[in-house]
């Protein structure tokens, strides 16, 4: 049995605990949270060993792995402490709040040779996996542009202060929502060399963002656009979608389905034809052993457990990949803080270069 | 229980196949009159049990039925609680404890408010749980609710955490306070059944996905077949069409061949589809779907 501890019992931590405890190869050896209330209830009714002090838990409990679901600001010290003790780590997203710190952790984990995974569960959604398969097969030829979107109803009015309302703690639409489509873009197309036109807009929040827009530029000339808003009540729950345009067709995908329009049959995987192809989640999703809220949540933890069991070095959601996403997030913040470029001078120069000093709008 | 129960996913933009279709349904059923029209069509086809969430809009349906007692004299509700997104969004906003506080009764009866506050302070799960159940059941006052369900996300979270006592609290409260049968919606029937047996919850009503392609039948279709054959519980099959992946005839024929299934819950948006499903069940089930 693999001995696991779950740390941070908010929405994600509770969900991970509920999924991992029934796993046939896992024994939950301890749970840890800074607030005692829920911990006391769980201790009383589930018999789990509880800790409010993470360091004490690491010292006292013999662990193979830890699942960390605390606010992102706490990740770096918690992940480091676990790695130093030789414990495999599954960490919630976003990995850290600083692309450089993420890179350091990624280097450390490689050095230690431990299994490492970050909770970007969309990489375990059948439809988004199928997109990856289609792109790798060259189903739509040379990709020129990607649209990555996420919308949902999280913040619909101004409200009090929790870690989720503070960007400095890892709260906000960028970290909570936009990280997912960014991570999918990284998975499909790697790292952009730069970003532009980034907007981190506030709708209701005071200390963080509610909407995120940006353009990502890649070495080969392809571009990606990001459009994310977590203050959109017209969606029942978070909805993430990807559209990819290529020389030989177009792919659209969300959690439920993949639609491929292919201009020609050559190069398509088996079962696909020229013209419209639709694949639904019912075809694309493998059943799991235990289900709480979506196969992908169970599948990612099962993948983590199997990687430990089989001593696998591969992980499609390893710290390195998450560090890419954190780096893009850092780029977006820097770009948004720099603000829009005032192009009026350039326009004036183009229109009448000899008179640019007298331009009405020049600064 | 009737052979056929009417579900409500279609009314709330829940569609496991397509987000576009889900949105179209949200638009169509924005007006509660459109929901009631479909429920009437089902009723006129002889389907008189509505298995529904505790979404606020269901309250409007209940009000309509209360206002027309002769038309709906023999109408039956099977409420399923809680409407999970309400809680999930609150947990994101305010954390688990904040969300609990939000849904505990704070107005109205001073007694309830006191009980709520005391239960929270004492970490008294029974007190907290039963108050939340009562809050969810308020909208069904005076209606016939012979079976009351706990929704799958809650059932399965409790099951996963090993918080088994919560099942006992739920079952006792539903029996004692509402004189109803407790029902459990789950995506993990093979794991849930032995736990309920061990708790002494006898012959429980369990609703889960059961379909020919094994869609969302966690643990595998074989484990479900085994559980249906060798355990004593009252099974309701949902998602028998696997969100539209199966043709109706094929889906119903298969489900009617499975052992020990007592009812099928299905959703539809038109009288033609409702009738089609009823006729298929009449054709393949050993006894008629409706009488």
Which residues lie across from A30 on neighbouring strands?
A5
As a whole number of angstroms, the distance between CA A254 and CA A297 comes to 16
Assess whether A30 and A134 both reside in one domain: no
The tokens describing B137, both together, are: 């059941």
User: Is there a single domain that holds both residue A108 and residue A134?
Assistant: no
How far apart, in Å, are the Cα atoms of A261 and each of A29, A134, A247, A252?
A: 49, 11, 11, 9
What are chain B's domains?
Answer: 4-83+143-275 (3.20.20.100)
User: For residue A200, how many C-alpha atoms fall within 13 Å in the half-sphere facing its CB?
Assistant: 26
Residue B59, Cβ neighbours under 10 Å: how many?
14
Is A313 within the bounds of a domain? yes
Walk along chain A (363 residues) and give the pLDDT tens digit of each residue.
999 999 999 889 999 999 999 999 999 999 999 988 889 999 999 999 999 999 999 999 999 999 999 999 999 999 999 999 999 999 999 999 988 999 999 999 999 999 999 999 999 999 999 999 999 999 999 999 999 999 999 899 887 777 778 888 888 999 999 999 999 999 999 999 999 999 999 999 999 999 999 999 999 999 999 999 999 999 988 999 999 999 999 999 999 999 999 999 998 999 999 999 999 998 999 999 999 999 999 999 999 999 999 988 888 999 999 999 999 999 999 999 999 988 888 888 887 655 555 555 554
Judge if A131 and A268 occupy the same domain. Answer: yes
From the list B18, B94, B217, which residue is nearest A287 (CB)? B217
Domain-embedded: residue A338:
no
3-state secondary structure of A37: helix
> Does A233 contact chain B (CB < 8 Å)?
no
Whole-angstrom Cα distance, residue B211 to residue B237? 8
Question: Half-sphere exposure (CA, 13 Å, Cβ side) for A167?
Answer: 16
CB neighbour class for A361 (10 Å; exposed up to 12, middle 13-18, buried from 19): exposed
What DSSP letter does each residue of B15-50 carry, written as one string? Answer: -SS-HHHHHHHHHHTSSHHHHHHHHHHHHHTT--EE
Are both A87 and A197 inside the same structural domain? no
DSSP for A226-240, written as a single string: EEEESB-TTSSS-EE
- The whole-angstrom distance between B74's CA and the closest CA on chain A is 33
Contact B243 A162 (CB under 8 A): no
Q: Does one domain contain both A273 and A147?
A: yes
Domain assignment of residue A45, given as a range: 2-121+303-317
What are the helix (H) ranges across A120-178? 126-136, 173
Could you give the number of structural domains in chain A? 2
Among candidates B16, B159, B214 on the partner chain, residue whose Cβ is nearest the Cβ of A256: B16
Quote the tokens at residue A264.
């020609």
A42 interface with B at CB cutoff 8 Å? yes
Instruction: Return the structure tokens found at B274.
Output: 């409702």
Q: Do A87 and A142 reside in the same domain of the chain?
A: no
Residue of A353, A96, A144, A140 whose CA lies nearest to A259: A140
Task: For residue A55, tell me if it sits in a domain.
Answer: yes
Together in a domain, A113 and A212: no
Peptide linkage before A327 cis (omega within 30 of 0): no
Q: How many CA atoms lie within 13 A of B249 on its CB side?
A: 0
Could you tell me if residue A8 is inside a domain? Answer: yes
Q: What is the CATH number of the domain that holds A179?
A: 3.30.360.10
Domain co-membership, A67 together with A103: yes
B92 and A162 within 8 Å at the Cβ level: the answer is: no
Q: Are residues A26 and A165 in the same domain?
A: no
Does one domain contain both A162 and A13? no
Residue B291 has pLDDT above 50, yes or no: no
Interface of A with B in 279-298 (CB under 8 A): 280-283, 285, 287-293, 295, 298
Domain annotation covers residue A341: no
- A129 lies in the same domain as A72: no
E strand or H helix that includes residue B206: strand B205-209
CB count, 10 Å around CB of A161? 11
Cβ <8 Å between B85 and A236: yes
Q: Is residue A346 part of a domain?
A: no
Q: How many CA atoms lie within 13 A of B10 on its CB side?
A: 21
Q: What is the pLDDT of residue B257?
A: 92
CA–CA separation, A82 vs A75, rounded Å?
A: 10
Q: Does residue A356 lie in a domain region?
A: no
State pLDDT tens for residues B75-89.
999 999 988 777 776
Contacts of B135 (CB under 8 A, 6+ apart): B103, B104, B105
Q: Is the pTM of this model over 0.90?
A: yes
Residues A249 and A155 in one domain: yes
What pLDDT score does B197 carry? 97
Residue A358 inside a domain? The answer is: no
């Amino acid at each position: 049995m693999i001995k696991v501890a779950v740390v941070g019992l908010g929405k994600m931590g509770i969900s991970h605990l509920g999924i991992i405890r029934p796993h046939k190869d896992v024994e939950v050896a301890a749970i840890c949270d800074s607030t005692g209330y829920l911990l006391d209830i769980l201790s009383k009714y589930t018999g789990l060993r509880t800790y409010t002090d993470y360091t004490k838990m690491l010292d006292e409990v013999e662990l193979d792995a830890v699942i960390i679901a605390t606010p992102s600001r706490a990740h770096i010290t918690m992940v480091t402490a676990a790695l130093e003790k030789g414990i495999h780590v599954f960490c919630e997203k976003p990995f850290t709040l600083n692309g450089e710190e993420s890179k350091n952790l990624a280097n450390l984990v490689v050095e230690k040779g431990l299994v490492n995974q970050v909770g970007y569960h969309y990489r375990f959604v059948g439809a988004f996996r199928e997109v990856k398969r289609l792109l790798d097969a060259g189903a739509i030829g040379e990709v020129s542009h990607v649209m990555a979107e996420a919308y949902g109803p999280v913040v619909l009015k101004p409200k009090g202060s929790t870690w989720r309302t503070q960007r400095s703690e890892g709260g906000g639409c960028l970290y909570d929502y936009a990280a997912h489509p960014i991570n999918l873009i990284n998975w499909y197309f790697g790292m952009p060399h730069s970003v532009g036109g980034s907007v981190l807009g506030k709708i209701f929040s005071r200390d963080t963002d509610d909407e995120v827009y940006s353009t990502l530029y890649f070495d080969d000339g392809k571009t990606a656009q990001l459009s994310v808003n977590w203050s959109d009540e017209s969606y029942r729950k978070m909805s993430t979608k990807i559209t990819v345009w290529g020389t030989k067709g177009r792919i659209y995908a969300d959690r439920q389905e993949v639609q491929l329009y292919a201009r020609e049959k050559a190069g398509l995987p088996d079962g696909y034809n020229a013209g419209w192809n639709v694949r639904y989640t019912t075809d694309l999703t493998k059943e799991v052993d235990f289900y709480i809220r979506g196969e992908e949540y169970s599948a990612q933890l099962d993948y983590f457990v199997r990687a430990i069991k089989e001593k696998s070095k591969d992980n499609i959601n390893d710290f390195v990949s998450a560090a890419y996403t954190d780096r893009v997030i850092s780029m977006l913040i820097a770009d948004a803080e720099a603000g829009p470029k005032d192009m009026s001078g350039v326009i004036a120069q183009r229109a009448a270069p000899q008179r640019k000093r007298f331009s009405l709008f020049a600064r | 229980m009737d052979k056929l129960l009417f579900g409500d996913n279609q009314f709330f933009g829940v569609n496991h196949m397509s987000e576009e279709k889900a949105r179209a349904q949200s638009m169509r059923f924005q007006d509660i009159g459109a929901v009631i029209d479909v429920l009437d069509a089902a009723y006129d086809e002889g389907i008189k049990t509505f298995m529904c969430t505790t979404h606020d809009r269901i309250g409007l349906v209940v009000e309509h039925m209360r206002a027309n007692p002769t038309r709906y004299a023999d109408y039956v509700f099977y409420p399923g609680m809680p409407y999970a997104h309400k809680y999930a969004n609150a947990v994101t906003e305010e954390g688990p404890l904040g969300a609990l506080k939000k849904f505990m009764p704070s107005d109205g009866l001073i007694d309830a408010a006191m009980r709520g506050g005391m239960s929270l302070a004492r970490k008294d799960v029974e007190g907290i749980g039963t108050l939340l159940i009562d809050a969810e059941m308020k909208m069904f006052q005076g209606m016939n609710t012979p079976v009351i369900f706990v929704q799958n996300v809650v059932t399965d979270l409790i099951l996963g955490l090993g918080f088994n006592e919560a099942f006992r609290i739920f079952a006792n409260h539903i029996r004692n306070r509402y004189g109803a049968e407790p029902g459990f919606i789950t995506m993990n029937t093979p794991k849930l059944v032995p736990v309920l047996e061990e708790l002494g919850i006898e012959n429980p009503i369990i609703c889960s996905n059961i379909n020919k392609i094994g869609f969302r039948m966690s643990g595998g279709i074989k484990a479900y077949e085994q559980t249906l054959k060798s355990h004593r519980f009252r099974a309701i099959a949902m998602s028998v069409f696997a969100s539209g992946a199966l043709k109706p005839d094929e889906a119903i024929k298969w489900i009617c061949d499975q052992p020990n299934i007592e009812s099928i819950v299905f959703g539809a948006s038109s009288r033609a589809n409702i009738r089609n499903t009823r006729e298929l069940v009449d054709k393949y089930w050993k006894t008629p779907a409706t009488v």
